[in-house]
Amino acid sequence: MHLIGFFFFLSLTIYTAKKVPSVDLHSLQHFPDVLKKADLHKLHAEVMTCLPSLPNMPDLHKLREELKTTLPSMDILPSLSGWHVMELLNNCLPERFSSGNYTDVCVLRSMKEDVANIIAPLLVRPITRWPFFAFLGGAMFCLLSSSTCHLLSCHSERLSYILLRLDYVGIAALISTSFFPPVYYSFMCSPFFCNLYLGFITVLGITTVLFSLLPVFQTPQFRTVRACLFFGMGFSGVAPILHKLILFWGQPEVLHTTGYELLMGAFYGLGALVYATRIPERWMPGKFDIAGHSHQLFHVLVIAGAYTHYRAGLVYLRWRDLQGCS
């Protein structure tokens, strides 16, 4: 199960890497074809009929006089930045910028057939992907270290001692890196909170790893302590999730990702509970020695939780690619 999970997430990583949006410079070869589809000559003629001095933008005095003549009721400010450009164009080209009695406030929406198709390929600015791939790397490291532990721990007592600690380190790495996508993409426009939450979970993960290296941590008496420690790491994610909801309440992407994160937490929490209580073998000793015991169920739930988090990460990427920090 552990090795299957590793290859599953390796496939997801390769698939996601191939789907990263980028600016395709080769598409610019078709730019003349795009220009042919847009009726730019008609748009240019309409604007020039209304504002013939538009090509001579440095001659601001002449342009202001023409605007006063064309639209005497408007208050033309001496500064270009103060002109009500949208109002000018609405009055000048009502058939291009309005529909019926309603005037659209967005230029691109009103003439998207002429302009949007031209500038859209040039506006692709994908955000950084490292937090998302850090999570995928943590998931693969966790599953691979667990596979190695279960495969080779029977070699010798010394090797079993080392590999069991590697298994705990992998679990801590998975939980820590799971925080990276939601924290980074939720607070990428607020560096203080982004660094605060990322720093906290990183320090907590390192502390858990160091505690896992202690010999006493591996004794059966500390089985519940181990589960509670890892559960506590996951539960610390409540703070950034609540903060995210307060900042972006009402946005569908935020509610969507929160639903995924709650489901992920349920999988992880249930897995920790099954691991700590040794269900179901405690009810029927000897019946689940080969298949169906608590450790196997624990890893099935971990894989399910990690995949749920992967789906949430895709929503984060799409959200921030489209909106950025706006």
In a domain, 293, yes or no: yes
CATH at residue 228: 1.20.1070
Residues 25, 19: Cα–Cα separation, whole Å = 16
Cis? peptide before 280, omega within 30° of 0: yes
Q: Is residue 120 part of a domain?
A: no
As given in the structure block, the two tokens for residue 280 are 């179901």
Q: Looking at residues 307-318, what average pLDDT do you find?
A: 93
Regarding whether 130 and 70 lie in a shared domain, the answer is no
Q: How far apart are CA 55 and CA 63, in angstroms?
A: 10
Contact 213, 172 (CB under 8 A): no
Token representation of residue 286:
């000897």
| Residue 148 and residue 78 in one domain | no
pLDDT in tens, 148-203: 988 888 888 888 888 888 888 888 898 889 999 999 999 998 999 999 999 999 98
Residue that is last in its domain, among 84, 114, 144: 114
Average the pLDDT over 11-18 and give the result: 90
CA distance 50 to 304: 62
* 173 and 273 together in one domain: yes
Q: What residue numbers does the annotated binding site cover?
A: 150, 295, 299
Q: How many CB atoms lie within 10 A of CB 83?
A: 18
Number of structural domains found in the chain = 2
Domain membership of residue 92 (yes or no) is yes
Is residue 141 pLDDT above 80, yes or no?
yes
Q: What's residue 87's pLDDT?
A: 55
Whether 240 is in a domain gets the answer yes
Domain assignment of residue 31, yes or no: no
In-domain check, residue 32: no
Is residue 59 scored above 70 in pLDDT?
Answer: no
pLDDT at 121 over 60: no
Q: What is the dihedral of CA 281, 285, 289, 293, to 10 degrees?
A: 0
Least confident range from 218-232, 268-282, 292-306: namely 218-232
148 and 215 inside one domain: yes
Looking at the structure, do residues 148 and 293 belong to the same domain, yes or no?
A: yes
Q: Is 144 helix (H, G, I), strand (E, B) or coil?
A: helix
pLDDT for the residue 62: 57
Do 282 and 159 fall into the same domain? yes
Same structural domain for residues 226 and 201?
yes
Which range of residues forms the domain containing residue 47? 39-114
Specify if 77 maps to a domain.
yes
CB 274 within 8 A of CB 326: no
Q: Which residue ranges are tagged as binding site for Zn(2+)? A: 150, 295, 299
Domain membership of residue 121 (yes or no) is no
Q: Does 268 share its domain with 296?
A: yes
Q: Are residues 62 and 171 in the same domain?
A: no
Angle 191-212/157-178 helices, nearest 10 degrees?
A: 170
| pLDDT of res. 20 | 60
